Amino acid sequence: MGYPASAMGPQLRAYVEHQLLTDLQFYGVPTVGLSFDWSNPCQEGHVTRYLDGMLEEMSDVGVNRSDGTPVAEGWLDFIHGGGDAPLFVCLFFSGLANLAGVRPGFCRSRSNLVL
């Protein structure tokens, strides 16, 4: 796992992956068997601490099927007020494989948040 993804503890990584999979489900993507490619993310500067680790905005985050076929790639972003405030995570897609009607760069399942 490449840095900065390696700075996430197991709890934080599970939390982040759950939120990202929820976003993909919103687009109608079957999420069973999907895995995240955290091997070569690029740090982008926005950082927070949550649960058992540090989360930083990062680009080049991939989502693959169990056979390694890419499903999505994008930029991980988040909203967090610090401390015990809720953490909202989404992936701005630079690419979504074989999904008609999806607008890249639009995190739909979090678009109606009122903060």
Domain boundaries, the chain: 5-110
Tens of pLDDT, residue by residue over 54-64, are 999 999 999 99
Higher pLDDT among residues 85 and 45, named by residue: 85
Q: State the pTM of this model.
A: 0.82
Looking at residue 47, its pLDDT comes to 94
Of 16-30, 47-61, 100-114, where does mean pLDDT reach its minimum? 100-114
The whole-number average pLDDT for the span 37-54 is 93
Contacts 24+ apart (CB under 8 A), 72-76: 72/24, 72/29, 72/96, 72/97, 74/104, 74/105, 75/44, 76/16, 76/20, 76/41
